[in-house]
């Protein structure tokens, strides 16, 4: 239960899906600037290298979920 005013997101991964888990949600806002802002968000406890590695992993996950292998965040 979220008892704050902050938005939180959850990703669910199916380990043995019967269908390819690819764009199974509303994709009308995939290119919205908020998506890039959320995926590139940094936290103060990240060191530089760890923070960059975290963002790279988020981009890889997003590429897998959307099927857009060219997606990147200004790097």
Average pLDDT of the chain to the nearest whole number:
85
Distance CA 11, CA 22 (A): 13
Kindly state the tokens that stand for 74.
Answer: 């200004």
Kindly state the tokens that stand for 18.
Answer: 């019967």
Q: How many CB atoms lie within 10 A of CB 40?
A: 13
pTM of the model: 0.66
Confidence of residue 57 (pLDDT cuts 50, 70, 90): very high
At 54 the pLDDT is 92
pLDDT, average across residues 39-43: 89
């Amino acid at each position: 239960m979220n008892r704050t005013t902050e938005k939180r997101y959850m990703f669910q991964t199916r380990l043995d899906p019967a269908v390819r888990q690819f764009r199974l949600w509303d994709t009308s806002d995939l290119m919205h600037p908020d998506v890039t802002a959320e995926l590139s968000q940094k936290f103060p406890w990240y060191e530089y290298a760890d923070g960059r590695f975290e963002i790279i992993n988020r981009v890889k996950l997003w590429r897998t979920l959307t099927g857009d292998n060219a997606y990147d965040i200004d790097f």
